[in-house]
């Protein structure tokens, strides 16, 4: 007789899947992807499979990286953004937890923020199975069972909750860079605003984000530049000025270095 395998820990014994047609795989359609919600009436299991960025949930900010996962509770306000490199691919499953046949509205260990799976390749194989089941419209019960097992396995791993939250200083720097990149006159100015030396800020930011603040700021400016080119009639010089550049040629050179084509070429290819 084969040995009994202990089932993963989970404080509910099944789930009810929400918005079935939408959840299997959600890949970002653009490199400058952002996601924002004001809160749903259900739980949401969210895992990054590729790409990097950051996610803010109420007062905390977390890194997004392959294998990072979150379980959001109903009505939480969430925002997330991609900042460089490969586009973010995510798996997302919306659900109601069920205990003994009844929906439960409060789970002791949720929300669960900043988790990390031990094996991303194993998680991807399990998600592939779930996706195949999701495409078969008559397998709702099997789909719910497999999703519940997957969520239970992720949450049942020991030591999954890393020191994932970014500290408040770096979180505020991300907000400044992302929301108002044109307002940043220098990295030194931001460091002083946050109450630390430039060298300390550079070291802390790079350690937590994996990218130097100067490069991160340039990426944010180029994301804004692409948005202007895609959705406005501003001339390239006007876009450069709007982003705080005094030299249009320097702006165009940075744009080409990051995007691979000049601003004019980028706009022309959109037409």
Q: How many CB atoms lie within 10 A of CB 144?
A: 19
pLDDT at site 27: 55
Q: How many CB atoms lie within 10 A of CB 47?
A: 26
- CB-based contact 42:18 (threshold 8 Å): yes
pLDDT at site 2: 36
Cα–Cα distances in angstroms (integers) from residue 94 to residues 23, 81, 178, 180, 192, in the given order? 7, 20, 28, 32, 42
Complete domains list, the chain, with CATH: 14-156 (2.60.120.280), 167-270 (1.10.10.60)
How do the pLDDT tens digits run along the chain, 271 residues long? 333 333 345 678 889 888 654 444 555 556 677 777 766 788 999 999 888 888 988 788 898 999 999 999 888 888 888 876 677 888 888 899 998 888 888 887 788 888 889 899 899 888 888 887 877 766 788 888 999 999 988 887 544 444 457 888 998 898 889 888 999 989 999 999 999 999 999 999 998 888 899 998 998 899 889 889 988 999 999 999 999 999 999 999 999 998 889 999 999 988 7
* Global pTM value: 0.71
Number of H helices, E strands in the chain: 9, 10
pLDDT at site 105: 80
The dihedral built from the CA positions of residue 254, 51, 33 and 210, taken in this order, carries a sign that is negative
């Amino acid at each position: 007789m084969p040995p009994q395998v202990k089932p993963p820990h989970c404080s509910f014994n099944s789930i009810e899947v929400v918005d079935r047609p939408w959840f299997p795989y959600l890949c970002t359609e653009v490199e400058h992807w952002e996601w924002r919600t004001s809160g749903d009436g259900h739980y949401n299991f969210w895992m990054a499979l590729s790409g990097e960025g950051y996610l803010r949930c109420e007062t905390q900010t977390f890194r997004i990286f392959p294998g990072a996962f979150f379980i959001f509770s109903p009505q939480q306000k969430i925002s997330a953004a991609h900042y460089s490199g490969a586009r973010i691919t995510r798996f997302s499953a919306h659900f109601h937890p069920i205990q003994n046949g009844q929906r439960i509205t409060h789970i002791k260990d949720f929300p669960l923020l900043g988790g990390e799976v031990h094996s991303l390749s194993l998680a991807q194989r399990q998600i592939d199975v779930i996706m195949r089941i999701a495409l078969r419209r008559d397998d709702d019960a099997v789909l719910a069972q497999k999703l519940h097992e997957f969520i239970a396995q992720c949450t049942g791993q020991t030591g999954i909750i890393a020191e994932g939250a970014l500290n408040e200083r770096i979180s505020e720097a991300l907000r400044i860079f992302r929301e108002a990149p044109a307002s940043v006159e220098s990295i030194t100015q931001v460091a002083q605003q946050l109450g630390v030396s430039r060298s300390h800020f550079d070291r802390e930011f790079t350690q937590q984000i994996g990218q130097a603040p100067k490069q991160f700021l340039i990426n944010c400016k180029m994301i804004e530049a692409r948005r202007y080119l895609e959705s406005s009639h501003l001339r390239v010089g006007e876009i450069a000025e709007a982003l705080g550049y005094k030299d249009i040629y320097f702006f165009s050179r940075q744009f080409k270095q990051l995007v691979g084509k000049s601003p004019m070429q980028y706009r022309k290819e959109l037409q």
